[in-house]
Amino acid sequence: MSIIKSEDSRKWITALVVIASALAGFVVYKFVGQLGDWFDLETKISNYSVVAQGLGFVTGLGTFIYILKNNETSTYLQEVYNELVKVVWPSKDATVKMTVGIAIALVVVAAIFTSVDFIFKKVLEFLY
């Protein structure tokens, strides 16, 4: 059972590109803001926050346009989407069973490590 359909590819790829572009713009905005704090640029440049927001927006828009207009990147994203459509996701019941099994195994391994550590600690206390 696949969650996504192959006919929705353009919509999902565009959504991914929008999210990546927004993230790139946000990172640039925060970085430029941090530079302003470090070098006290707020006092030297009037409307520095507007400049930082503008740089973030331009970076996000540039990232969006570059990714969508670059044929190599668009082809790669389409290939990734086509492979993702082929993924068969486990059912909810199988996921719950695997999660419980992993939790039980984790408790058992933790108990083994704890007991071995306790034994070594007692042996070392006895020797020293």
Determine the pLDDT at residue 2: 57
Tell me the angle at which helices 9-39 and 48-69 cross, rounded to the nearest 10 degrees: 150
Average pLDDT over residues 40-56: 93
- Single-letter residue type at 7: E
pLDDT cut 70: percent of the chain above it: 96
The answer to whether the beta carbons of residues 24 and 60 sit under 8 Å apart is: yes
Residue 127 scores a pLDDT above 60: yes
- Report whether pLDDT(38) > 90: yes
Cα-Cα end-to-end distance for the chain: 61
Q: Can you tell me the distance from the alpha carbon of 94 to that of 56, in angstroms, rounded to the nearest whole number?
A: 43
Give dist(CA 66, CA 21) in Å, integer. 10
Mean pLDDT for the chain overall: 93
Task: Judge residue 12's burial from the number of C-beta atoms within 10 Å of its C-beta, 0-12 exposed, 13-18 middle, 19 or more buried.
Answer: middle
> Among 86, 65, 84, 54, which residue's Cα sits nearest to residue 17?
65
Which pLDDT does position 109 carry in this prediction? 98
pLDDT at 1 over 60: no
Q: What is the pLDDT of residue 55?
A: 97
Instruction: Tell me which DSSP letter residue 91 carries.
Output: P
Is 80 exceeded by the pLDDT of residue 3?
no
Q: Residue 85: its pLDDT value, please? A: 87
Interval 64-118: pLDDT, tens: 999 999 999 999 999 999 998 888 889 999 999 999 999 999 999 999 999 999 9
